[in-house]
């Protein structure tokens, strides 16, 4: 996807970038490529792939981002989707969470380059951070960093009641049954499922809208080794 194709495709998402936002994304792209020459941030190193698989893909959930919300991006990596969304939504607060110090160092430097006032970068394990920040966020997102049942356990306790968990994944058909079991324990419910294909390459994408409808027990999220050893499909209250 070329830069021009990227701008054109965004019209399908009802997004029209300002000149400042275009400039910020260009700085982002160039700094990502430069930083990636000495620190492994992404396997996608060409402009066309960055526009499509990082920038456009991140912005597919932009319609869920409203002014004034507090948004948490778990396992943000090199800032996808959180940093891209923060550029396009300057009046929304974003917390970008990752346990990889090299990636959060990059994000802090990028934040300074872009002079973003609406972004906080946190270097911490997700389960530890969420235990200290329960029911703080209006929306939690994450892009393809773990199984949905695991992401749900990490995400729902961070959400306010009526808050939304919006994960971005590829094909999730094989995960739905286990996810629904996890949500029954965590007090979440799938309200909407959106499937589409990325432009040009036509790879499948799925966006779920999951509502946190009641408090999650304070035992969650458990330590990550317990999450892996005893998935919620096997959990008994």
- Per-residue exposure over 78-89, b if at least 16 CB sit within 10 Å of its own CB, e if not: bbbbbbbbbbbb
Residue 18 lies in a domain: no
Query: Of 33, 167, 15, 158, nearest to 87 (Cα)?
Result: 15
pTM for the structure as a whole: 0.97
pLDDT tens sequence across 101-144: 999 999 999 999 999 999 999 999 999 999 999 999 999 999 97
Q: What's the CA gap between 137 and 152, in Å, rounded? A: 14
Half-sphere exposure at residue 221, Cβ-oriented, CA atoms within 13 angstroms = 27
Q: Which pLDDT band, with edges at 50, 70 and 90, does 234 fall under?
A: confident
Distance separating alpha carbons of residues 181 and 209, to the nearest angstrom: 16
3-state secondary structure of 18: coil
**Strand pairing of 159-169 and 119-123?**
unpaired
Q: Which pLDDT score, from 0 to 100, does residue 151 have?
A: 96
The two structure tokens encoding residue 59:
């912005």
Decide if 50 is inside a domain: no
CATH number at residue 117: 3.40.50.150
- What pLDDT is recorded for position 213? 98
Range of the domain at 76: 66-234
17 located within any domain: no
Q: Which residue carries 């317990």 as its tokens?
A: 226
Domains: count for the chain: 1
88 within a domain of the structure (yes/no):
yes
Cis peptide before 147 (omega within 30 of 0): no
pLDDT band, residue 236 (cuts 50/70/90): low
User: Is residue 167 domain-resident?
Assistant: yes
The answer to whether residue 44 is domain-embedded is no
Q: Mind listing the pLDDT tens digit for each residue in 173-215?
A: 899 999 999 999 999 999 999 999 999 988 999 999 999 999 9
């Amino acid at each position: 996807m070329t830069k021009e194709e990227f701008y054109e495709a965004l019209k399908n998402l009802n997004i029209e970038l300002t000149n400042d936002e275009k400039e910020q994304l260009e700085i982002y792209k160039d700094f990502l490529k430069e930083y990636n020459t000495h620190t492994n941030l992404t396997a996608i190193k060409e402009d066309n792939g960055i526009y499509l698989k990082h920038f456009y893909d991140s912005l597919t959930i932009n319609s869920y981002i409203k002014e004034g919300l507090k948004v948490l991006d778990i396992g943000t990596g090199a800032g996808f989707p959180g940093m891209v969304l923060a550029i396009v939504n300057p009046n929304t607060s974003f917390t970008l969470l990752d346990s990889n110090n090299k990636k959060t160092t990059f994000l802090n430097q990028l934040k300074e380059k872009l002079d973003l006032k609406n972004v906080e970068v946190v270097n911490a394990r997700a389960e530890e951070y969420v235990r200290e920040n329960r029911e703080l966020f209006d929306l939690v997102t994450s892009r393809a960093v773990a199984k949905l049942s695991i992401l749900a356990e990490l995400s729902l306790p961070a959400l306010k009641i009526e808050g939304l968990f919006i994960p971005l994944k590829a094909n999730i058909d094989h995960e739905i049954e286990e996810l629904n079991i996890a949500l029954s324990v965590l007090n979440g419910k799938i309200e909407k499922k959106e499937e589409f294909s990325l432009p040009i390459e036509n790879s499948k994408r799925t966006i779920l809208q999951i509502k946190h409808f009641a408090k999650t027990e304070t035992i969650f999220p458990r330590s990550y080794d317990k999450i892996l050893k005893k998935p919620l499909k096997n959990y008994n209250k």
